[in-house]
Amino acid sequence: MGTDYQVFIAVCIIASFGITINFFGLLAHIYVPVLLKHPGSLLFMHIFCQCVYMTHWFFLFPSKFENIPVDTCKKIAIYATIFFYASWIYILALCVEIYIILRFKAYSSSKIRIICYNISAFLFGACIMIIYYLLDSLGISEVGSCFVKIHTNGEILDGSLNFFLLGLLILSYYLVRKQLGCCFGPAFHKLSKVVLTMCVTIFISRITAITIYIQRGDSDHIAAYTIILGSSTCIIWGTSAAISRCFNQKVMSKIKECFQRKEKTEDLLLLDRSMESEEIMKSILSFAIDKEADDIADYIENLGHKILAQILVLLTIRFKDDNITTQNLNDVLRNPKRHVSLKYPESRFMTLSQELKMPFIIKIYCPDISLYEYHPEIFQCIKDSTDFTKDLILESLLSHTNLKALISINNGGGRSDSFFYMSANQKIVIKTITAEERISFMKFLPKYSKRIVEHPESKLVRILGLFQAQPHNQDFIIMENVIPNKNSCLIYDLKGSTVDRHVGGIDSENPPIGIVLKDVNFNRWGHSIKVQDPSEVIKHIVDDMKLLKKQKLMDYSILLGIYENPNELTRYFISNTHSICIIDFFQRYGMKKSLERFWKRYILRKTKGISAISSVRYFKRIVKYLKTIFEQTSNNEDARE
């Protein structure tokens, strides 16, 4: 009996140690809420499930652990099984979520996926528990705990299932690493250690269980060393994530702050130019490139910033080394060059770093980094027709002022998960697009380029380049900024519909400047667009839209800017105060959109609010709306009403 008590005390100490670590891991998330940022919440739930699961080790009864009442042991095994397998799903979900974000740039739909992960975790745990219950496999385990009973089919299923889940974890982790290539930061080094530690410890735990299974034969006796070894290996793998959270750099920094006196440093307000530049590099770029990005949530949140930093560097090198000669557009279209792969050596990054005095550029480099440029000769013809010179583009890329603009970048910019970057000189916009949008635009490119080159009056936005940044497989475009100085004008994104076309929380009759509003806001504003010759303006826009209709494109927008005193007039101005442009013409009405419409119309029985409509119907709707918002004025000035 003394030996039994010693075993019980030893297991309780081990379990207490594991639960304490997990408890502190949970406290770390509460103490430093930034750790709960997506996808950190998945790690939090994994730790919580492990914490609950480990409590079942306290139910090893001294001298009677082999004779625990069946009902009592089953009840303990029920919750232990559910939380054990739920913790598996959460750590798998973490790797899957990281892969989804890196591969598909799906930021805006993360909340829906989080709900799915939570439901899946406990549903999976409950389903496995029910299977074990029906197989009468809940009871005393091979290590003396109330879990999966020895000498049952459930024991074999549990071992097989754990090896299967281990394989999935290794596979998902491999896919994340492959997606990142060499461009992964300290956050992924830490994730690597956590996941690999889990893999090793769960493997040891399973091998231990198999060894015990073979050695015990038909015996029901559970040796003391079996209980100690089994509990130790299980608890070690269950505390890996919690340990990483407890020693997270942000947690340690917060703790240190409690023991250090905060000192005010007014000298920071007097930084000279060189110090300011260094501070920009540290505060804006280091989180994605240097050691400060020690947490996976930080890395994911700022992934867009890192990609944009890479894009700015790659584009700067590309345009500095520009050697594309001007050609006739018709000649280029007869024999177009589809794409060019631009891979630069480390020395080129070093040279640029020294030239611009930006040390972070060297850290951008990795062997996998490269730039794909699609149809460079066609876009050169477009740039020539718009007077966009190489120097003007370079001026819009790498500068300290432009890098400051990275602060305001939002990863989840809209339905398509795209984000925007506007240069400080207000000349260009860099917008990320999906692979589907890239393919759609490439089909439209020949007709698009002819339209804007041969018809300068066209109101289609001028797109100056189509690229893909590796290793992130991030597609993006460079386009002309159609709303310069947006903080001095009213902005409306119009689609000719009232369904989900309202920005709430504002006074539509006295709209704020600088915020993109929608159709319902414009209608409530109660004003029209006054120009000298509405019919001519409408004709140009309708001609553009006819081309979009012919190419089966839909869901594009009319971007309207209304100024009081614009600093400069661009090609998109139709009067002294009104600017208008057609944007976002990347959605093609194909099989996918047809099926979406069929599902909503005939399966869900929706009669209104279906956004997926044919290009012909979309054209008719937006043209009809367009003709209602213009009004003729008798003079050249159409003041803002």
Domain that holds residue 519: 486-632
E strands, 226-378, where? 339-342, 370-374
Same domain? 410 vs 558: no
- Residue 110 DSSP label: H
- Pseudo-torsion of CA 266, 272, 274, 279, nearest 10°? 30
- Quick check: helix, strand or coil at residue 46? helix
Same domain? 69 vs 175: yes
Q: Which residue has the higher pLDDT, 281 or 462?
A: 462
Q: Over the stretch 426-441, which tens digit does the pLDDT of each residue have?
A: 899 999 898 889 999 9
Query: Could you tell me the pLDDT band of residue 572, with boundaries at 50, 70 and 90?
Result: very high
- Round the average pLDDT of the chain to a whole number and report it: 82
Q: What is the pLDDT of residue 85?
A: 96
- Quick check: helix, strand or coil at residue 140? strand
Final residue before a domain boundary, out of 201, 229, 256 = 256
Same domain? 207 vs 236: yes
Q: Over the stretch 334-347, which tens digit does the pLDDT of each residue have?
A: 887 778 999 999 99
209-213, 532-536, 610-614: least confident range: 610-614
Q: How far is CA 391 from the centre of its chain?
A: 32
Amino acid at 445: L
Q: Which of 622, 113, 621 is closest to 417 using CA atoms?
A: 113
Exposed/middle/buried for residue 554 (C-beta within 10 Å: 0-12, 13-18, 19+): buried
Same domain? 457 vs 500: no
Q: What residues contact residue 327 under an 8 Å CB cut-off, 6+ apart?
A: 377, 380, 381
Q: Over the stretch 349-407, which tens digit does the pLDDT of each residue have?
A: 999 999 998 888 888 888 889 999 999 999 999 999 998 889 999 999 988 788 877 76
Helix (H) or strand (E) holding 187: helix 186-216
Q: What is the pLDDT of residue 291?
A: 44
Rounded to whole angstroms, how far apart are CA atoms 202 and 200? 6
Query: Could you tell me the pLDDT band of residue 113, with boundaries at 50, 70 and 90?
Result: very high
Rounded to whole angstroms, how far apart are CA atoms 433 and 475? 5
Same domain? 229 vs 314: no
Q: Which CATH number characterizes residue 388's domain? A: 3.30.800.10
Q: What is the pLDDT of residue 404?
A: 75
Same domain? 332 vs 464: yes
In a domain, 347, yes or no: yes
Q: What is the pLDDT of residue 265?
A: 43
The pair of three-digit structure tokens given for residue 287, joined into one six-digit string = 């989180």
92-101, 107-116, 453-462, 604-613: least confident range: 604-613
Rounded to whole angstroms, how far apart are CA atoms 583 and 462? 9
In a domain, 538, yes or no: yes
Rounded to whole angstroms, how far apart are CA atoms 420 and 401? 16
Final residue before a domain boundary, out of 425, 445, 480 = 480
Same domain? 419 vs 535: no
Query: Could you tell me the pLDDT band of residue 88, with boundaries at 50, 70 and 90?
Result: very high
Same domain? 471 vs 518: no
In a domain, 581, yes or no: yes
In a domain, 524, yes or no: yes
**pLDDT at residue 616 tops 80:** yes
In a domain, 434, yes or no: yes
- Pseudo-torsion of CA 107, 122, 164, 47, nearest 10°? 70
**pLDDT at residue 110 tops 70:** yes
In a domain, 216, yes or no: yes
**pLDDT at residue 604 tops 60:** no
Is the four-CA dihedral 365, 370, 373, 377 of positive or negative sign?
positive
Q: Over the stretch 194-211, which tens digit does the pLDDT of each residue have?
A: 777 788 878 887 787 777
Same domain? 80 vs 219: yes
The pair of three-digit structure tokens given for residue 169, joined into one six-digit string = 């974890």
Q: Which CATH number characterizes residue 74's domain? A: 1.20.1070.10
Query: Could you tell me the pLDDT band of residue 553, with boundaries at 50, 70 and 90?
Result: very high
Q: What is the pLDDT of residue 595?
A: 62
The pair of three-digit structure tokens given for residue 1, joined into one six-digit string = 């009996």
Q: What is the pLDDT of residue 521?
A: 95
Q: Output the CA–CA distances (angstroms, integers) from residue 305 to 342, 419, 420, 494, 635, in the order listed.
A: 21, 10, 11, 29, 46
Q: How far is CA 364 from the centre of its chain?
A: 20
Q: What is the pLDDT of residue 285?
A: 53
The pair of three-digit structure tokens given for residue 220, joined into one six-digit string = 């029901």
pTM over 0.85: no
Q: What is the pLDDT of residue 220?
A: 59
Query: Could you tell me the pLDDT band of residue 262, with boundaries at 50, 70 and 90?
Result: very low
Number of domains in the chain: 3
Q: What is the pLDDT of residue 201?
A: 79
Q: Which of 240, 292, 234, 249 is closest to 28 using CA atoms?
A: 249
Same domain? 161 vs 175: yes
Final residue before a domain boundary, out of 480, 511, 541 = 480
DSSP labels for 531-560?
Answer: ES-HHHHHHHHHHHHHHHHHTTEE--EEEE
Compute φ and ψ for 230, nearest 5 degrees. -65, -45
In this prediction, residues 582-608 reach a mean pLDDT of: 67
In a domain, 206, yes or no: yes
Same domain? 19 vs 49: yes
2-11, 112-121, 535-544: least confident range: 2-11
In a domain, 122, yes or no: yes
Same domain? 79 vs 204: yes
Residues in the chain: 641
Q: Which CATH number characterizes residue 502's domain? A: 3.30.810.10
Is the four-CA dihedral 346, 99, 83, 227 of positive or negative sign?
negative
